[in-house]
Structure 1
Amino acid sequence: MYWDNAQLSDSVTEYISHNIDQALRLSEEMFYKAFDNSPNIMIISTIDAKRILKVNKSFVRITGFSSQDAIVNNPLLLNIISQEQLEIIRKKLKAQEEIQNLETNFLTKNGEVRVGLLSIDTIELNGQSHLLLNMNDITDKINLEKEMARLERLNLIGEMAAGISHEIRNPLTTVRGFLQLFKIRNECLHQQEYFDLMIDELDRANSIITEFLSLAKKKATNKRLTNLNNIIQNLAPLMQADAVSAGKSIRLELTPIPDLLVDEKEIRQIILNLTRNGLEAMGQGGHLTIKTLRQEDEVLLSVQDQGSGISPEIIDKIGTPFFTTKDNGTGLGLAICYSIATRHGARIEIDSSPAGTVFAVHFPLA
């Protein structure tokens, strides 16, 4: 068969064009597979970032928004990018500056604030320019680092407590003994109020040291299989008395739970500390709710108040020894709760809003 040059040229052009189209389709197919299966949040938007065209599975899993939610709204409405950050991004894109690992906060559908590292690239799809947003969610990493730092501080304080508390308590005991001897002497009878004041102050210092000793990492514990509900019910009259005297009330919502291997005295201390903190956080007429329930392989103890909540900048400091927002507090109550929880392999989580605060202690099953 005879082919002239024009026919041959058209055939070659058609062959090359076909191969290019195939290569482009294959390339886009591979891109979409990588895009959809990436562990990072990935979004394809219009070049002006005003409309989302496609999101991947990780976007749906992490944010809680469906693909349809994303496509019918713009990134601002979904709180994926704040207005301020969007302006920064637009300026950088206009100046053709690189956007890599820009730390940003974003909200999930249920209102949880998470932290991500945002990178943005310009890509060509179907002959048009689009933005590819890649968000690496680092929230869990940040929380783990904070928890490790908190435990490290707590361990350091605990080691100090074990090392110096006895050395401080011994001379205090000696001073208190001599003050009691002087107090009963005839020549000192007219100064009784001064001796009483000094003894009271020494007793207060001694009680703080006793609390301080509770932070010791290697503090001996006497663990036995015990039911949290029994401990709470035994403490109920004492807690109700505290609440009534302050014009408040306590509700118990206890559900059947398995026994735990715990030190009953230490668990009593956690419950009393959290309860008294909750009562102090509320005004008159407030209700404090204490709950227990089983969650998979854990038993949950929660104490919920109706106070005004804890500000975000303070939450990170909660549990730090000697940090307190109370006028007469020692800053050891919650630190002791965290120390006891650590000795029991438990963890404490805080959920706070202007409507109140929940302290939840998660105990592993024995």
Structure 2
Amino acid sequence: MGMLVGRGGFYCAGVMFLNEALLELRGVIFADSTGRVDAGAFKKTKLTFETKNQLSDIMFYDRTDIVKKGSIEGLKKMADYFCDDILVTGLGVGDRPIGILMACKDNYTKSDSEALLLYGNICSLSIEFSRTVKQLELTTADLASLRKTAMNSENLVRMGRLSATVAHELKNPLVAIGGFAKRMEQTAVNPQTKNYIKIVQSEVHRLERIVGDILIYSRKIEIDLKDFKLRKLVEEIMEMSAGCLSFGMVKLQLDIDEQLTVHADRDKLKQVIINLVSNSIQEMTEGGDMKIDASQGDRHVTISVSDTGGGIPSDKREKIFEPFYTLKKTGTGLGLPLCKKIMTAHGGDIVVGEADRGAVFSLILPKRG
């Protein structure tokens, strides 16, 4: 609203939300550059749709138009807030109308209508985004609660199903928000508006990654076992991570025999090692040393990733493999559990121990046969 009133050229603006059950619009927020109006009192204003009118057409048919205050009975009661000719645009989430955005200035041009439509789109996008984030927060809390009581396989199955259901529920609105934000980015002119859109896009990408992790974790892991040279796989990962290693001032030491062959799902094992390398880089905030080595015994090949990032407290080492548990300030808490699930599907394991100045994660792969 601050962008619309002042910078947007309008001297006042207000948002009203629709109560579908009562067919009633209620004041939510009001901004006035003159300071003569009690913005708090706007929340007590109501507009009831007794018959079809211009406001209902704007809202239900997603239009932007000028409405004369005297043409609609309810607007006459709002003389203290708005001018005689009010520019109005509809607000919606998906295909569902949720309210209107109203604004006033002395003279309107075509660009004013386009600007109000853009601000209305941003407002709708923000509402949808907030609801999605809130749903995700509530779901994460439910899953965390369920995890605490998951003492048997039945509850673990319930948790997996709940995770998958929630992820699917969130996926569609996130795709819609992302597409909507991309379209808005193409038409936005104001630099501040562009910046807001980029923030929304960044958060959408973050939530999409979370949803993706939940969906991947909830599925059964299918393993395609093949023989391949381990060192070549790790060198590919190092090439992909070269920029992050350099930027993070992390020095890498690789100690894997070129002839060492493992029997595993190449893509899945690559995913696990990438996750461990990424975690190690993030832990070494001021730079450090990382080592990847491998050894083989009679029945297993052990791949180790160690760092100098401070290590993991002994009482947390088992918990980090539990779903939705994380020691990071940001993260889904599904990265290491997914690694555990992949290694278990191989008939192997992943364990964490203490290195000289940090942590060491060991991947245990059974040999062929």
Q: TM-score, normalised to structure 1's length? A: 0.53
Partner of 2:208: 206
AA matched with 1:267: L
How far 1:206 sits from its partner (Å)? 0.5
2: CA distance, partners of 1:274 / 1:326: 14
Partner of 1:258: 261
Is residue 164 from structure 1 mapped to residue 166 from structure 2 by the alignment?
A: yes
Please report the RMSD computed on the Cα atoms of aligned residues, expressed in angstroms. Answer: 3.0
Partner of 2:282: 280
How far 1:177 sits from its partner (Å)? 2.1
1: CA distance, partners of 2:309 / 2:291: 12
AA matched with 2:262: D
Residues 158 and 213 in structure 1, CA contact (< 8 A), matched pair in contact too: no
Partner of 1:108: none
Residues 288 and 308 in structure 2, CA contact (< 8 A), matched pair in contact too: yes
Alignment of 1:1-366 (within 5 A): 157-185=159-187, 191-255=193-257, 256-262=259-265, 264-282=266-284, 284=286, 286-352=288-354, 355-366=357-368
1: CA distance, partners of 2:365 / 2:334: 21
Residues 226 and 260 in structure 1, CA contact (< 8 A), matched pair in contact too: yes
2: CA distance, partners of 1:239 / 1:307: 17
How far 1:354 sits from its partner (Å)? 6.4
Q: Secondary structure at the match of 2:319?
A: coil
Q: Secondary structure at the match of 2:261?
A: coil
Cα gap change, 1:346 to 1:277, in 2 (>3 Å): same
How far 1:360 sits from its partner (Å)? 0.6
Unaligned runs of 5+ in 1: 1-147
How far 1:335 sits from its partner (Å)? 1.7
1: CA distance, partners of 2:347 / 2:305: 19
Cα gap change, 1:192 to 1:347, in 2 (>3 Å): same
AA matched with 2:275: N
Q: Secondary structure at the match of 2:305?
A: strand
Cα gap change, 1:228 to 1:186, in 2 (>3 Å): closer
1: CA distance, partners of 2:156 / 2:174: 25
Q: Deviations over 1:254-304 (max 9, x none)?
A: 034333131x22211111111122233336452211011212111111111
Moved more, 227-236 or 287-296: 227-236
2: CA distance, partners of 1:190 / 1:309: 42
Cα gap change, 1:240 to 1:157, in 2 (>3 Å): farther
Q: Secondary structure at the match of 1:349?
A: strand
2: CA distance, partners of 1:275 / 1:248: 11
Residues 307 and 355 in structure 2, CA contact (< 8 A), matched pair in contact too: no
AA matched with 2:260: I
Residues 221 and 342 in structure 2, CA contact (< 8 A), matched pair in contact too: no
2: CA distance, partners of 1:151 / 1:292: 34
Q: Secondary structure at the match of 1:329?
A: coil
Unaligned runs of 5+ in 2: 1-149
2: CA distance, partners of 1:237 / 1:284: 21
Q: Deviations over 1:179-222 (max 9, x none)?
A: 33344447988733222222221121011111222212414444
Cα gap change, 1:302 to 1:158, in 2 (>3 Å): farther
Q: Secondary structure at the match of 1:214?
A: helix
Q: Secondary structure at the match of 2:227?
A: strand
How far 1:226 sits from its partner (Å)? 2.7
Count the aligned residue pairs: 218
1: CA distance, partners of 2:189 / 2:359: 55
Residues 249 and 287 in structure 1, CA contact (< 8 A), matched pair in contact too: yes
Cα gap change, 1:240 to 1:198, in 2 (>3 Å): closer
Give me the identity figure in percent: 26
Between structure 1 and structure 2, the one with the greater Rg is 1
Cα gap change, 1:335 to 1:202, in 2 (>3 Å): same
2: CA distance, partners of 1:329 / 1:307: 18
2: CA distance, partners of 1:243 / 1:186: 36
2: CA distance, partners of 1:280 / 1:296: 34
Residues 262 and 301 in structure 2, CA contact (< 8 A), matched pair in contact too: no
2: CA distance, partners of 1:218 / 1:225: 22
Cα gap change, 1:184 to 1:317, in 2 (>3 Å): same
Q: TM-score, normalised to structure 2's length? A: 0.52
Cα gap change, 1:227 to 1:216, in 2 (>3 Å): farther
Q: Secondary structure at the match of 2:354?
A: strand
2: CA distance, partners of 1:294 / 1:167: 45
Residues 274 and 359 in structure 1, CA contact (< 8 A), matched pair in contact too: yes
How far 1:353 sits from its partner (Å)? 5.7
